[in-house]
Amino acid sequence: MTGTPDTSSPPSAGPREHQDLKKESLSFAVLEQDPDVKEALCFAVIEGFPTMIFSKDAQPETRHDDRLGFRYVYFNALMDHASGLKRLDMIGQNAYDHFNPTDAQQYFVDDRQVMALPPNRDEEAAVFEIYEPWVVPTGKHVNHTRKKNLGDAYMLGTFLVVDDVHLGKVQEKRRPVLLPLSEAPARPASYFFSEALEHLPVPVLVVSGASSSPSSSSSFSSSPPAILLKNRAYHHAFGSLETATAAAASENEGGGGTAVDKYLLGLNSFAVPGEILERSNVALGRGDRGRARQHGEGQRGEAEQIPLWHIMQRPLRCAEREGERGNDTGDMIIVYVLWPQGDERKAAAAHAKLK
């Protein structure tokens, strides 16, 4: 994604109009062939993402301008809840308009480092990662932030508040889905959300085909799911990046998949509409090792060779855009986010700065 940020959109949507997501039209093949459908799906996933996602205008000519540089162009819905700031008020402004000068200056320094990284690369070396204090109206927090250079025109970031996440042990908890407090900002550029989800610096798996159970108001049936989308970070962490071949289509329509895919799909039965399921310190196999286990299982020393992840399972329904929360309607889309479990020492050092 290059060039000057604009508010142009796919032909079927205006600058501020986001397409409705029609679940019945979703399939791996359709997403490969219809960019408008893919954009609608990616917007729904990012807007309802279980961590904060933001993007800034990072044009080369303004990166060193404290007044014009790194202006916010997008925040997802969770930002309103987590920060206490109004995301629509922040669009078009930068950190100096909302944070103290010392923190704002550090954000600028960090963002310039991000934009010095190679754009749209998959490897971890192309991700800027930091634990940073975050002082906002909701309180003092520590964020685990991951940022990427998105095509030399935008800086893309996501952050997880780690006040109670990095506890060094396997645990499971649920938290409620927080519905949007404001409308979504205008699309920064054509097909922006497709590009952003593809290059988001955390692995994401999007699944369709899990239907509400007729015998239960709080869980899904075990109907076979179909994998709709894996972003580049997911491919890089758990297998080689695939092209849209017949073999890939077979896998994504339920005809195969890696052991990590199957582990995550096995969590579908635990999904509850209106709730985000989180599992901490889960060891997931990488590449052809292809195994998924809870940390500590298996032979002595084996688990230490496998990265630990904080898994977030986010059921998604189009009805949430209208503020509805029923438990018994239609097929669901389930989004799996795999967040690197992180570094206790770095998190503690960031906490110390808040005291």
**Region 186-200: what's the mean pLDDT?**
94
Instruction: Tell me the C-alpha distance between 32 and 41, whole Å.
Output: 12
**pLDDT band at 120; cut points 50, 70, 90:** confident
Question: Is residue 129 classed as helix, strand or coil in its secondary structure?
Answer: strand
220: DSSP letter: B
Same domain, 307 and 341: yes
For residue 255, what pLDDT is reported?
A: 46
For residue 130, what pLDDT is reported?
A: 94
**What is the distance between the terminal CA atoms of the chain, rounded to a whole angstrom?**
40
**pLDDT band at 13; cut points 50, 70, 90:** very low
Same domain, 134 and 195: no
> What Rg value do the Cα atoms of the chain yield, rounded?
20
Question: Is residue 62 classed as helix, strand or coil in its secondary structure?
Answer: helix
- pLDDT per position as a tens digit, 34-73: 898 899 999 999 999 999 999 999 999 999 898 899 999 9
**Region 4-8: what's the mean pLDDT?**
43
Instruction: Tell me the C-alpha distance between 97 and 56, whole Å.
Output: 14
Is 39 in contact with 10 (CB distance < 8 Å)? yes
Same domain, 251 and 189: yes
> Could you identify the residue written with the tokens 């990265």?
307
Residue 75 backbone dihedrals phi, psi, to 5 degrees: -130, 145
Is 282 in contact with 294 (CB distance < 8 Å)? yes
For residue 307, what pLDDT is reported?
A: 85
152, 171, 190 - which closes a domain? 171
Residue range(s) defining the domain that contains residue 158? 49-171
**Region 138-149: what's the mean pLDDT?**
93
The average confidence (pLDDT) of the chain is: 79
Is 5 in contact with 61 (CB distance < 8 Å)? no
> 176 lies in a domain?
yes
For residue 139, what pLDDT is reported?
A: 92
Instruction: Tell me the C-alpha distance between 214 and 328, whole Å.
Output: 8
Instruction: Give the chain's count of helices (H) and strands (E).
Output: 10, 12
Residue 1 pLDDT greater than 60, yes or no: no
What is the percent of the chain where pLDDT is above 90? Answer: 48
> 31 lies in a domain?
no
For residue 25, what pLDDT is reported?
A: 60
> 355 lies in a domain?
no
- pLDDT per position as a tens digit, 196-252: 999 999 999 999 755 444 444 444 444 567 899 999 999 999 875 443 333 444 454
Residue 180 pLDDT greater than 50, yes or no: yes
144: DSSP letter: E
Same domain, 92 and 226: no
Residue 161 pLDDT greater than 80, yes or no: yes
Same domain, 145 and 93: yes
Instruction: Tell me the C-alpha distance between 108 and 67, whole Å.
Output: 11
**Exposed / middle / buried, residue 264 (Cβ in 10 Å: 0-12, 13-18, 19+):** buried
**pLDDT band at 297; cut points 50, 70, 90:** very low
Number of structural domains the chain divides into: 2
Same domain, 239 and 264: yes
Same domain, 298 and 155: no
For residue 165, what pLDDT is reported?
A: 53
What is the percent of the chain where pLDDT is above 70? Answer: 71
Distance of CA 234 to the CA centre of its chain: 11
For residue 325, what pLDDT is reported?
A: 47
Is 79 in contact with 85 (CB distance < 8 Å)? yes
Instruction: Tell me the C-alpha distance between 72 and 311, whole Å.
Output: 28
**Region 248-268: what's the mean pLDDT?**
71
Question: Is residue 17 classed as helix, strand or coil in its secondary structure?
Answer: coil
- pLDDT per position as a tens digit, 332-354: 889 999 999 878 888 888 888 88
117, 139, 171 - which closes a domain? 171
Instruction: Tell me the C-alpha distance between 347 and 324, whole Å.
Output: 36
Helix (H) or strand (E) holding 196: helix 192-199
171, 186, 213 - which closes a domain? 171
pTM, two decimal places: 0.83
Helix (H) or strand (E) holding 53: strand 52-57
